[in-house]
A and B are shown apart, each in its own frame.
Chain A
Amino acid sequence: MKVIPTQCPSCSGELAVTGLICQRCDTRVSGHYRLPPLLKLDGDDQAFVLAFILESGSLKAMAARLGVSYPTVRNRLDQIITQLQADAAVET
């Protein structure tokens, strides 16, 4: 599965979306759109967040699914929360 790049390969700056295309009628929309915070996470973290939602937010279920302990899942979630909070702070 392709993961959308979020960092510039030249200068590591933040990439933004400037064009969207309708897959049904080929309409193109151009503008300047910042990537939503969740899309700025790396592929593994995005997969983690998706799995977390599918497990109805249960850390216990996530631990069983990933085969790790509850504290390990808790710490991974804390890391993602910290990253999202840092991103939100940059935007404001």
Chain B
Amino acid sequence: MKAWLFKPFEKIAGWESLAAGLFVMLVTAIIAALSGQHTDGVLDLHLGPTAPVWVLVVQGLINWLSLSGCLLLSGLWLSHTRFRLIDLFGTQALARWPLIWSVLYLAVPPVGNALRHLTDKLLQAAAQTSSEVIADPAYLLDALILTAISLPMLAFLAWMVWLMYHGYALVCNLSGMRAVFSFIGALVAATIISKGLIWMLLHSTMN
């Protein structure tokens, strides 16, 4: 069970993982669209204005393809093994499956409403005291509550990042610092690319 949760790509890769991953991405997009969420970056999940399902599907595809593309370049550069594209893209698709738990969690009305309320409150407080370096202690409790509510999402995010790394390292047969640093580099590059592309998407569809 532990292997399936944390090292699934030792058992499944290629077309099977691609099909499963795309299916999960679709379901995630539907739930996100229905609950006013956006996957506006490779690792991002935020509450926002309601958008059609196709926008959320495209967001998911951009996130998946951005990271897969960056990892492909990294793998071609560093790997000594001949790896299949379908394995890399397929494992990266399925690696995103923990995101569905974050989306489901945020879709629970009390959770989503609490996050929206606390975020608005803290943003308003910041706008009023922007010249101060230290936040007003009156809002620290709100910030702590916001952090506590976000902890499950952080756990799911960490799980997802681990699966992304596991898929990349296994498919490209990389290990150690070489695998870690190249993965981090690809993740940063993919985040920038995905943010830019999704901004253009939202800018053209939501206005």
A70, B11: Cβ atoms closer than 8 Å = no
Contact residues in B for A74 (Cβ distance below 8 Å): 81-83, 173
CB contacts between A and B, total, < 8 Å: 39
A69, B81: Cβ atoms closer than 8 Å = no
B13 within 8 A of A: yes
Could you tell me the distance between the alpha carbons of A74 and B80 in the complex, rounded to whole angstroms? 12
A65 to chain B, nearest CB (A): 14
- Main SS of chain B's interface residues? loop
Complex interface residues of chain B between 66 and 108 (CB less than 8 A to chain A)? 80-84, 87, 91
Interface string of B2-43 (1 = CB under 8 A from A): 000000011111100000000000000000000000000000
Complex interface residues of chain A between 52 and 80 (CB less than 8 A to chain B)? 67-72, 74-75, 78
Interface size on A, residues (CB 8 A): 9
B170, A75: Cβ atoms closer than 8 Å = yes
A75, B11: Cβ atoms closer than 8 Å = no
Interface size on B, residues (CB 8 A): 16
A-B pairs, top 5 by smallest CB distance, nearest first, are: A69-B13, A71-B171, A75-B173, A72-B10, A71-B170
25 A–B contact pairs at CB < 8 A? Answer: A67-B11, A68-B11, A69-B9, A69-B10, A69-B11, A69-B14, A70-B84, A71-B9, A71-B13, A71-B83, A71-B87, A71-B91, A71-B170, A71-B171, A72-B9, A72-B11, A72-B13, A72-B170, A74-B82, A74-B83, A75-B81, A75-B170, A78-B80, A78-B81, A78-B173
